[in-house]
């Protein structure tokens, strides 16, 4: 049987990785992708990449509905689309590979994630992580600290805060949190975990993005187009 897969966020690192795994294990399959940009690295991996509106657009639901009705399985690979599919049933016939609501809601917020770690794995939790409120500005805080959006990804909307003046400049009405600042001696690692019944696999690796990788991909795109 020829399976038809659809992967969202096709030009992102996660979408590309999922596509490579599927191509290796389902050699006769057709692998399609969606993304908000016209062209990218996914052009070299997928059978076809469809351009779709952002999830925040009113046009997204109609656009994605037309695409997924022609595939066997959809795998959302961006945070915003995972949240969308978690609360939206487009068609009972469409199979979506996704975590349940409890897991998605628990880990989409940084505060609830850290609270879970504190309770179950205290050695891996931050010393503090809570919403930035006006009352906090009156307290004595040991700087530096780190600020970011409670919900978000992709290294966006974050700042190292060095003093009270910088902290007061943050918009209190927004969804910002403050948390422990980990010094530069702490290196960044990515941990991937999968558990299916009694089978559990853990992969931990040091994360480092080299500028030359981006340069090579840009050159390849220029050659193709």
CATH for 65: 3.40.50.20
- At 154-180, the pLDDT tens digits run 677 788 999 988 888 887 767 889 999
Are residues 161 and 74 both part of a single domain? no
> Is the pLDDT confidence value at 2 over 60?
yes
Q: How far apart are CA 114 and CA 128, in angstroms?
A: 8
pTM of the predicted model as reported, rounded to 2 decimal places:
0.78
- Two tokens at 88? 């939206």
Segments forming the whole domain that contains residue 26: 4-106
pLDDT grade, residue 211 (50/70/90)? low
25-50 pLDDT, tens per residue? 999 999 999 999 989 999 999 999 99
Give 82-135 pLDDT, tens digit per residue: 999 988 877 667 899 998 889 999 999 999 999 999 999 898 899 999 998 877
Distance CA 139, CA 136 (A): 5
Same domain as 113, residue 37: no
pLDDT given at position 209? 59
CB of 153 within 8 A of CB of 116? no
End of a domain among 53, 79, 106? Answer: 106
Percent of the chain past pLDDT 70, that is, above it, reads 89
Pairing of strands 95-96, 73-75: parallel
- Give strand pairing partners of 148: 158, 177
Instruction: Record the tokens describing residue 84, joined without a space.
Output: 């969308």
Rounded CA gap, 217 and 121, in Å? Answer: 39
Q: For residue 97, what are the CA distances in angstroms to 5, 164, 165, 179, 196?
A: 11, 44, 45, 32, 13
Please name every residue paired with 30 in a beta bridge, in sequence order, or none if there are none.
Answer: 4
The residue with greater pLDDT, 10 or 192, is: 10
């Amino acid at each position: 049987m020829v399976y038809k897969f659809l992967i969202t966020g096709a030009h992102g690192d996660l979408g590309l990785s999922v596509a490579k795994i599927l191509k290796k294990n389902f050699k006769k399959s057709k692998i399609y992708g969606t993304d908000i940009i016209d062209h990218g690295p996914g052009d070299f991996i997928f059978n076809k990449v469809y351009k779709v509106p952002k999830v925040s657009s009113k046009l997204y639901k109609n656009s994605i509905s037309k695409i997924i009705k022609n595939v066997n399985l959809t795998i959302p690979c961006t945070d915003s689309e995972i949240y969308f599919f978690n609360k939206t049933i487009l068609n009972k016939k469409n199979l979506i590979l996704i975590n349940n609501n409890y897991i998605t809601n628990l880990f989409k917020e940084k505060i609830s994630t850290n609270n879970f770690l504190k309770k179950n794995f205290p050695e891996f939790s931050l010393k503090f992580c809570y919403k930035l409120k006006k009352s906090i500005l009156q307290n004595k805080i040991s700087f530096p600290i780190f600020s970011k959006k409670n919900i978000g990804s992709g290294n966006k909307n974050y700042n190292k805060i060095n003093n009270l003046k910088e902290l007061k400049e943050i918009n209190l009405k927004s969804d910002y949190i403050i948390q422990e600042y980990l010094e530069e001696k702490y290196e960044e690692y990515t941990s991937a975990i999968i558990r299916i019944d009694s089978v559990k696999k853990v992969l931990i690796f040091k994360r480092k993005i080299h500028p030359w990788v981006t340069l090579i991909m840009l050159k390849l795109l220029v050659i193709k187009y």
